[in-house]
Amino acid sequence: MPGNRQIIVRELPKGALTEAHFALREADRPVPGEGEVLLRTILMSIDAANRAWMQGATYREAVKAGDVMHTYAIGEVVESQDASLAPGDLVAAEARWAEYVTLKARRAQKLPRLRPLSQLLSVYGIAGKTAYHGLIGVGRPQAGETVVVSAAAGSVGMYVGQIAKALGCRAVGIAGGADKCAYVVKELGFDACIDYKAHADSKSLYQALKGVTPDGVDGYFENVGGTVLDAVLPRMNAFGRIALCGMISGYNGVPIPLTQPQLILQSRLRIEGFIVSEHTDDWPAALKELGELVASAKLKYRETVAQGIEEAPRAFLGLLAGRNFGKQLVKLI
Amino acid sequence: MPGNRQIIVRELPKGALTEAHFALREADRPVPGEGEVLLRTILMSIDAANRAWMQGATYREAVKAGDVMHTYAIGEVVESQDASLAPGDLVAAEARWAEYVTLKARRAQKLPRLRPLSQLLSVYGIAGKTAYHGLIGVGRPQAGETVVVSAAAGSVGMYVGQIAKALGCRAVGIAGGADKCAYVVKELGFDACIDYKAHADSKSLYQALKGVTPDGVDGYFENVGGTVLDAVLPRMNAFGRIALCGMISGYNGVPIPLTQPQLILQSRLRIEGFIVSEHTDDWPAALKELGELVASAKLKYRETVAQGIEEAPRAFLGLLAGRNFGKQLVKLI
């Protein structure tokens, strides 16, 4: 059956990723086998981690040349060959950049029909759970401490700062651009935000950070790496915690050495890398907490929504270049 | 009163430390004030951390030009102006490279008259406690896992590998020189040891390490940093732990960037820097465990003992260059 537009990875990037690495293709609608469902994609979650998936096998299989691009998504079951799901069911799954996909029913997570649907891919999705696990599970902040988060206006960063504020911490963001910094402070209630684009190197960024973290930094939620991490590390207080969630500055293959790793020893820091999908034990607590914050209007969020499967590569490149504001989604229906 | 030879720091090093940075001086024997004791130094502990103390204030006050060099030591109370200690008492304290020092009685820790005295500065001293805290408290190894330790023939490293073996782990050392590697494997019972001096760069060292860690590395006890850390990081298994105890390769001011910090994220590692003196809660358990291992002859150790206060600078430089074998001490009496 025709009518299944999808985006394939024509070639894996050696350096910077460009639109030329992708191609739109018309394909047949796949037919679900035993135990599978046919899913119609509604919303695709565009995440920086998707870029890391193209770097080779990490904690998951690599995205390969010729693949339909991988993505988290929400979709509606159109056809089911498994008793656990029925047509009309709303599910979240690791899908593809495609209007239709088939997948094992047990790989799909049934969702409530909550509105707006996009919340299921933001605050109640990977972004919210990631913010919660990294900040609470790894960072363990105490009221009165200072928490810094990079990519502060991004899908995860905006929750990190708001949850930190709700816990009684000083929340400081690092973001790219004056508009993002203004949004983070004025709309989301962060105490301060540094525009890293206004600083030529890590020393200058360090000085700016020093000005807004008079008591040093106790918890750092890292989404960027590279010179940003180099700038924050010397501001860390003794016994500080760094939750390593992403290192987007290195995803294009640029080396991102950590200049002064001896600070980890001198300041007796704890650094932990994590992938939220490996911490499902946290999720019930995360969803409860996030739901309460949303209900009490303490958690604002923002989305950038691109329309149509053909816009996925541009949305992805925009995210990697920091042109999005909050959660980047692609809406298919 | 005359008769107190001591070694002063003439000048702080800008780059490499040399004997010219120290000078032997004849001074008067100090007189203890109220609440103080006069200590006659018996054994001085020479540690790599002493070099870090000369780099500026870290977790403790910095050693400054003109200071009598700082050190951990064991001594005998000669005169006491405090009710808690009496002449003849044996104590451990942070003292100086000097035949006699005065210090607050409450800063001295009374010791049992255990023989040989040097054990109080090695297995039952900072070295043993450091090995225990870093390996057990930070690394949390499970039987069957692989533990790697750098400076494996050093005062701390030799205990780390032996305790790991006693826990049922595979223990692999990294040390400088074939003789040290042979000692670590044949005498101490490590499963393997890599001579880092036989490798020109971190890639070559990585390949050698790969050969002796077929199941990857779960716990890494770091004393060295720099290219050694760069070589071990890609061998770390998912959820591996790195106890950051020392980074001797950077103590002369040479930059020691961590080339691929993104591996911390990709392999979801936990890295923790620590200073054993901040974990006194561990010490009773450490001393009990270490005592049992010594009693059951599962814990061997080796010392390099220099004779006389005038030998302290040379002993210290030898340690920093890796010329010592096991715990480096200077014996005064």
Contact B160, B136 (CB under 8 A): no
Binary contact (A268, B258; C-beta < 8 A): no
Q: Looking at this predicted complex, what is its ipTM? A: 0.89
The contacts found for A85-90 with CB under 8 angstroms, 24 or more apart, are: A85/A37, A85/A110, A90/A42, A90/A117
pLDDT bracket for residue A326 (50, 70, 90): confident
Residues in chain B within 8 Å Cβ distance of A270: 270-273
Per-residue pLDDT tens for B258-317?
999 999 999 999 999 999 989 988 888 998 999 899 888 889 888 899 999 999 999 999
Q: Are A182 and A265 in the same domain?
A: yes
Name the pLDDT band for A126 (thresholds 50, 70, 90). confident
The answer, yes or no, to whether residue A114 has pLDDT greater than 80, is no
The label of the residue with tokens 């003992």 reads B305
Same domain, B111 and B150: no
pLDDT level of residue B115 (50, 70, 90 thresholds): confident
CB contact under 8 A, A256 and B257: no
pLDDT band at A3 (very low <50, low <70, confident <90, very high): confident
Q: Where are the beta strands (DSSP E) in B97-164?
A: 100-104, 109-110, 146-150
State how far residue B178 is from chain A, nearest Cα, in angstroms: 28
Cβ–Cβ gap A268/B271 under 8 Å: no
Q: CA–CA separation, B308 vs B251, rounded Å?
A: 25
B263 and B311 both lie in a single domain: no
Residue B181 structure tokens: 């590697």
Confidence class for position B1, pLDDT limits 50, 70, 90 = low
Residue A93 has pLDDT above 70, yes or no: yes
Direct distance between the N- and C-terminal alpha carbons of chain A, in angstroms, rounded to an integer:
19
Percent residues over pLDDT 90 in chain B = 79
Asked if B225 contacts B232 with a C-beta cutoff of 8 angstroms, the reply is no
Which of the residue ranges B129-138, B175-184, B320-329 would you say has the lowest mean pLDDT?
B320-329
Both B211 and B315 in one domain: the answer is no
Residues B212 and B147 occupy one common structural domain? yes
Please check the confidence at residue A69 and state whether its pLDDT lies above 70.
yes
Residue of chain B minimizing CA distance to A234: B58
C-alpha triplet A109, A114, A117: angle, nearest 5°: 80
Question: Residue B20 in contact with residue B59, Cβ under 8 Å?
Answer: no
Which CATH number does the domain housing residue A172 bear?
Answer: 3.40.50.720
- Cβ of A268 and B275 within 8 Å? yes
Let me know whether B132 and B154 are in one domain: yes
Mean pLDDT for chain B overall: 94
Query: Over 90: is that where the pLDDT of B114 sits?
Result: no
The proportion of chain A whose per-residue pLDDT surpasses 90, expressed as a percent, equals 79
pLDDT band at A251 (very low <50, low <70, confident <90, very high): confident
Of A256, A268, A274, the CB nearest to B262: A256
CATH code, domain with B111: 3.90.180.10
**Given the structure tokens 């002796």, which residue do they identify?**
B212
Do A243 and A105 share a domain, yes or no? no
| Domain co-membership, B170 together with B143 | yes
SS3 A77: strand
Using CB atoms, pick whichever of A258, A268, A272 lies closest to residue B257. Answer: A258
Which of B262, B263, B274 is the best residue to mutate to test the A interface, defined by the most A CB atoms within 10 Å of its own CB?
Answer: B262
CA distance B82 to chain A (A): 34
Of B257, B267, B271, the CB nearest to A264: B271
Residue of A nearest to B55 (CA): A266
Which residues, other chains included, contact B292 with Cβ-Cβ below 8 Å and sequence gap of 6+?
A: none
Q: Which candidate from B225, B238, B265 shows the least CB-CB separation from A244?
A: B265
Q: Do A131 and A111 have their domain in common? A: no
Q: With CB atoms and an 8 Å threshold, state whether A261 touches B229.
A: yes
- Chain A residues with beta carbon closer than 8 angstroms to that of B238: 59
Task: Point out the residue among A255, A259, A268 whose CB comes nearest to the CB of B274.
Answer: A268
Answer yes or no: do B85 and B181 share one domain: no
Q: Is B285 exposed, middle or buried (0-12, 13-18, 19+ CB in 10 A)?
A: middle
Residue A307 C-alpha, separation from nearest chain B C-alpha, in angstroms: 32
pTM here is 0.90
pLDDT in tens, A130-143: 999 999 999 999 99
Q: Chain B: which residues have CB within 8 Å of chain A? A: 52, 58-59, 225, 229, 238, 244-247, 250, 255-262, 264-275, 278
Q: Are residues B261 and B225 in the same domain?
A: yes
Structural domain containing residue A104: 4-122+302-331
**A96 pLDDT exceeds 90?**
yes
Phi, psi of B103 (to 5 degrees): -160, 160
Examine the pLDDT at B9 and tell me if it is beyond 80: yes
B174 and B311 share one domain: no
- Give the model's confidence band at A1: pLDDT under 50 very low, under 70 low, under 90 confident, else very high: low
* Tens digits of residue pLDDT in A167-226: 999 999 999 999 999 999 999 999 999 999 999 999 999 999 999 999 999 999 999 999
DSSP A63: P
Q: Per-residue pLDDT for B257 more than 80?
A: yes
**Model pLDDT for residues B309-321, shown as the tens digit of each residue:** 999 999 999 999 9
How confident is the model at residue A2, as a pLDDT? 66
A273/B265 CB distance under 8 A: yes
Structure confidence at residue A283 (pLDDT): 85
Indicate the number of domains in chain A.
2
In chain A, residues with a C-beta closer than 8 Å to the C-beta of B244 are 264-265
Mutation pick from B265, B272, B275 vs chain A, by most beta carbons of A within 10 Å, is: B265
A253 chain-B contacts, CB cut-off 8 A: none
**Contact at CB, B59 and A271, closer than 8 angstroms:** no
